[in-house]
Amino acid sequence: MRKPRTRIELYYWPGIQGRGEFVRLLLEEAGAPYVDVARESKDGLAAMMRFLEGDEPGALPFAAPFVKVGTAVVAQTANILAFLAPRLGLVPDDEALRAGAHQIQLTLADFLGEIHDTHHPIAGGLYYEDQKAAAKRRARDFVGERMPKYLGWLEQVLARNRASGGRWLVGSERTYVDLSAFQIVDGLRYAFPNALAQLEPKIPRLIALHDRVAKRPRIAAYLRSARRQPFNQMGIFRHYRELDAPPRRARKAKR
Amino acid sequence: MRKPRTRIELYYWPGIQGRGEFVRLLLEEAGAPYVDVARESKDGLAAMMRFLEGDEPGALPFAAPFVKVGTAVVAQTANILAFLAPRLGLVPDDEALRAGAHQIQLTLADFLGEIHDTHHPIAGGLYYEDQKAAAKRRARDFVGERMPKYLGWLEQVLARNRASGGRWLVGSERTYVDLSAFQIVDGLRYAFPNALAQLEPKIPRLIALHDRVAKRPRIAAYLRSARRQPFNQMGIFRHYRELDAPPRRARKAKR
C-alpha cells in the first residue's frame, strides 16, 4: 500500500543527530524525497519554532523531531516512523508484525532515554558538570545492568525471528526497526566503546545486523555524505570516559 | 471496524497500578471482556514470567504490561493501546487523528517516565533511600520545569481541539488518550498534591477532562470496584513530601 510520494518535511534541531537521526535513516533507506528544514534553509529553524510555539495549524508537537506530510503534522519519533514506514515500504502490511515492530521501536526509545539520562540524570537544563556525581552512579548501573539487558533482549529477538534467519528483527525483510537498532549500536560504540566491546561477543547477531545495515547501498552513501552529522558532545550519545566501563586491560591489571 | 470480541489477557505485576493501569482503563471504558492474569489466577504470575523469559511463542516482551489477544502478544503500553483502541471503538478511523492520538500517548509515556525518575533518578534497582539526594534535585526540576511544561502542553492541545470544544484531546469524542490523561492527573494528585494544586488554575480544561472521565459510568464503576488498586509507594506515582512543592501557606510565610 505505497502512496504517492509527497515531499516530506523533517523538522529537527541542527547540529546533532539526536532523535531526528532515526527518521533520517528511514528516509534515506527509502530514497524518499525530504527536506531537513532546520538544517537546509535559512529560515528553517524559525519555521520549526512556529510549530513548537503553536503558531501553525495541525497537531501540536511537544518537541522535535516532527514531520509534515501534506497537511499532517506528526510528532514523537516512534510515531513518525510508524506513520512513514508503511508509505515507504519499510514495514510489512501484517497487523501483528506491525505491532511487533512498534513494540521493539518503543523499547529502543526507552533504551535511548536511559542512554541520555546517563549524562543528564538530574535535569536536561543543567550542565553535565553540575550533575557529574549522579551521572557516574547512573552510568555504572546503566553499563552493568541496563545496557546488557537491552542488548541481550535485542539479540534474543533476532535469534527468535526465524522468518529472517536471525538477520532482521521483524518479519523476513529489513524494516525501519533494523535501521533504528543500527543507530543505537553505532551510538553506543561512540559513547560507551569499552562497555560495548566487552559485550560484543554476547551479541553477535546484533553486531552483524549493525554491519548489514551500514552496508546497504543507500545507507552507506548516506553515512559517507555530509548529510550524516558526526556524533558529538551535544547529542544524546556522548562520550565521557568516566561514564564508560574501564578498558579491559586496565580491569585485568587490577585483579 | 470493530472486530469480534475475543477475550483479552492482560499481564502485569500485581500490587500496583503502574503502566498496566492505562490498559485497564481502556478495557474498562470499553466494557471489554478481559482477564488480569497475574492478579486473578493462582498461576498467573508464573504464566507472565514464562512470556518474559522467552518460554512462550510470539513477540518477546521486554517488560510488562503486555496483552495476549488470540495468538498475538503485544507489549509496550502505548503500543497495546494503539492496538486495542480501534477494536474497541476508542479511537477514530481517520489516520491523521490516530497518529495525533498516538503522539499524545507517547508524550504521556515520556511524562510518566520522568514522574518515575523523580524518585528513582539513579537506578530502578536501588532503594529510594539510596538515591534520595539526587531524587530531591531531580524532583525540584520536575516540579518547577517539566511538570508545568507537560501539563501546559496538554491544556494547549485541549484548547486547540475545537472539534470537541476543548472537551477531549483528539477528535470530537473521547479516546483512549483521554483515559490516560485522567490517570496522569489522578496520579499527580496523589504524588505531588501541592505542586498540582498550585498549577490547577492554569489548566482548567485538563482538570475538567479528568473529572469528566472519572464520571463516565463504566470508569466510575471501575474506580469504586476492588479491581482499581489504590495508589501506593511501590508504584510509579509515589508521594514523598520532600519531593513535592511546599504547601502554598508555608511558601507565603517564608517571604
- Which chain B residue has the Cα nearest residue A121? B121
pLDDT, one tens digit per residue, over A173-231 is 999 999 999 999 999 999 999 999 999 999 999 999 999 999 999 999 999 999 999 99
* Percent of chain A residues past pLDDT 70, beyond the cut: 96
Same domain flag for B66 and B157: no
Same domain flag for B35 and B159: no
- Chain B contact for A102, CB < 8 A? yes
- Chain B contact for A123, CB < 8 A? yes
**Measured between CB atoms, which of A107, A137, A150 is closest to B76?**
A107
For residue A252, the model assigns a pLDDT of: 54
Domain termination residue (choose one: B56, B84, B112): B84
Kindly state whether residue A221 falls inside one of the protein's structural domains. no
Instruction: Looking at the complex, report in whole angstroms how far the Cα of residue A90 sits from the nearest Cα belonging to chain B.
Output: 17
Kindly state whether residue A190 falls inside one of the protein's structural domains. yes
CATH at residue A198: 1.20.1050.10
For residue B41, the model assigns a pLDDT of: 81
Cα(A179)–Cα(A80) distance, integer angstroms = 14
Best A103, A149, A162 member to test B by mutation, with max B CBs in 10 Å, is A103
Burial of B249 (0-12, 13-18, 19+ CB in 10 A): exposed
Same domain flag for A60 and A130: no
Q: Kindly determine whether residue A76 and residue B102, on different chains, have CB atoms separated by under 8 Å.
A: yes
A positions 70-89 inside 8 Å of B (CB)? 71-72, 74-76, 78-79, 82-83
Kindly state whether residue B158 falls inside one of the protein's structural domains. yes
Residue B207 has pLDDT above 50, yes or no: yes
Same domain flag for B136 and B100: yes
Same domain flag for A109 and A199: yes
* Percent of chain A residues past pLDDT 90, beyond the cut: 93
> In whole numbers, what is the pLDDT of chain B averaged over residues?
95
For residue B148, the model assigns a pLDDT of: 98
Domain termination residue (choose one: B51, B84, B117): B84
For residue A42, the model assigns a pLDDT of: 79
Same domain flag for A109 and A196: yes
B positions 144-163 inside 8 Å of A (CB)? 145, 150, 153, 156-157, 160
Residue A122 has pLDDT above 90, yes or no: yes
- Chain B contact for A141, CB < 8 A? yes
CATH at residue B53: 3.40.30.10
Read off the pLDDT band of A95 (50, 70, 90).
very high
Read off the pLDDT band of B78 (50, 70, 90).
very high
Three cell numbers at B65?
A: 504490561
Kindly state whether residue A31 falls inside one of the protein's structural domains. yes
Q: Kindly determine whether residue A99 and residue B79, on different chains, have CB atoms separated by under 8 Å.
A: yes
pLDDT, one tens digit per residue, over B20-45 is 999 999 999 999 999 999 998 879 99
Domain termination residue (choose one: B84, B116, B141): B84
For residue A3, the model assigns a pLDDT of: 53
Same domain flag for B66 and B133: no
If you count residue pairs, one on A and one on B, with CB atoms under 8 Å apart, how many are there?
A: 115
Kindly state whether residue B2 falls inside one of the protein's structural domains. no
Same domain flag for B54 and B111: no
Q: Kindly determine whether residue B141 and residue A160, on different chains, have CB atoms separated by under 8 Å.
A: no
Kindly state whether residue B1 falls inside one of the protein's structural domains. no
Q: Kindly determine whether residue B72 and residue A96, on different chains, have CB atoms separated by under 8 Å.
A: yes
* Percent of chain B residues past pLDDT 70, beyond the cut: 96
Q: Kindly determine whether residue A102 and residue B76, on different chains, have CB atoms separated by under 8 Å.
A: yes
Same domain flag for B78 and B135: no
Same domain flag for A157 and A78: no
Kindly state whether residue B89 falls inside one of the protein's structural domains. no
For residue A251, the model assigns a pLDDT of: 53
Read off the pLDDT band of B255 (50, 70, 90).
very low
Kindly state whether residue A255 falls inside one of the protein's structural domains. no
Residue A174's domain comprises 95-216
Residue B254 has pLDDT above 70, yes or no: no
Closest C-alpha among A214, A238, A244 to residue A18 = A238
Same domain flag for A20 and A103: no
Residue B119 has pLDDT above 50, yes or no: yes
CB-CB neighbors (< 8 A) of B69 in chain A: none
- Which chain A residue has the Cα nearest residue B76? A103
Read off the pLDDT band of A1 (50, 70, 90).
very low
DSSP-derived secondary structure letter, A1: -
Instruction: State the angle between helix axes of A95-119 and B77-84 in degrees (0 to 180), rounded to the nearest 10.
Output: 150
Number of domains in chain A: 2
Same domain flag for B102 and B151: yes
Long-range contacts at A107-113 (CB < 8 A, ≥ 24 apart): A107/A150, A107/A153, A107/B62, A107/B75, A107/B76, A108/A177, A108/A180, A108/A181, A108/A184, A109/A77, A109/A78, A109/B106, A110/B62, A110/B113, A111/A146, A111/A150, A111/A184, A112/A19, A112/A184, A112/A236, A113/B110, A113/B113
CA of A67: how far to CAs of A2, A78, A80, B79, B99, in Å? 18, 12, 7, 20, 12
Q: For the complex shown, is ipTM > 0.90?
A: yes
**Measured between CB atoms, which of B72, B99, B123 is closest to A83?**
B99
Q: Kindly determine whether residue B54 and residue A138, on different chains, have CB atoms separated by under 8 Å.
A: no
For residue A255, the model assigns a pLDDT of: 46
For residue A5, the model assigns a pLDDT of: 66
For residue B229, the model assigns a pLDDT of: 98
Read off the pLDDT band of A248 (50, 70, 90).
confident
